[in-house]
Amino acid sequence: MSTWPDLASRSEAPELMDDLAIGGSELEEALRQLRRINQLLIGAWPLREGVDRLWRWAGQPAELSILDVGAGSGDVNRPLLRWADRHGIDLQITLMDINPETCAEAADYYLDEPRVQVEQGDVLNLPANYADIVTASLFVHHFPNTQLPTAFTRMLQASRIGLVVNDLHRHAFAWAFIWGATRLLSRNRMIRHDGPLSVRRGFRGSDFERLRATPGMGRLRYAWRPFFRYLVVVPRYERRFA
Ligand SMILES: C[S@@+](CC[C@H](N)C(=O)[O-])C[C@H]1O[C@@H](n2cnc3c(N)ncnc32)[C@H](O)[C@@H]1O
């Protein structure tokens, strides 16, 4: 078994998925397996809860735009489309990823869904007020502690209603489970390397408390969700939701 990791603080080791030189069939397979993992661990659940909460706070608008950053193939948005159908919401989703190959995979995945657009881009260059709600699923753990305040600030400023983050709890059980499951079920180098590392790069409540001290992040709320997730919701303006 791999050496038991020190989970006291967030790892800063790089993930293979952030190496834009790695692509082709290896990346395609990793994205396919990530979709499967999201499905098995109900990865979209906290995301939908956070979006629903912000939508209600904003007065249940009939039209809603979502920007999903670090989107990968964007599969966690499928339940959001069904949620929009149930509530009669005219929903438009933009998937944004820094990797052009990943964007192509996402465009292919949503070929028959006109409500979903794909755009290549870097979260650190997001324009202000880009969409009603900005979402980030299994994405913010890609940033080291020094860059997290900037990434959160950019995402919040890109939203008109608020920000929803869905990411991993840095917990020994989660690490051991993901380490074992990825060795048992996958031969993909990225999945085997990045899966357990993502947990080591994940979060504890104290990380979000520190983030809340960043100027403009005082409205940040976080909650633990099943399967070792954290749901983070940051409304853009206090008065809208008073
Ligand atoms: C672990 S994947 C998460 C995919 C998806 N959101 C999910 O829930 O399965 C993280 C994604 O973030 C993308 N990424 C990394 N840095 C980025 C940046 N600065 N701006 C936009 N996307 C980025 C990577 O290319 C990768 O596709």
The closest-lying atom of ligand 1 relative to the alpha carbon of residue 143 is 16
Quote the domain boundaries for residue 141. Answer: 25-169+203-235
Q: In sequence order, what DSSP letters do the residues of 153-181 get, joined into one string?
A: HHHHHTEEEEEEEEEEB--HHHHHHHHHH
Task: Report how many domains make up the chain.
Answer: 1
Question: Is 71 close to ligand 1, i.e. is its CB under 6 Å away?
Answer: yes
pTM over 0.75: yes
CATH number of the domain that residue 228 is part of: 3.40.50.150
Q: Which of 29, 135, 139 maximizes ligand 1 atoms within 8 Å of its Cβ, making it the mutation to test the pocket? A: 139
Q: Is residue 197 part of a domain?
A: no
Is residue 195 within 8 A of residue 179, CB to CB? The reply is yes
Q: How far is the CA of 30 from the centre of ligand 1 (A)?
A: 12
Mean pLDDT taken over the chain: 94
Q: For residue range 207-237, list pLDDT tens digits in order.
A: 999 999 999 999 999 999 999 999 999 999 9
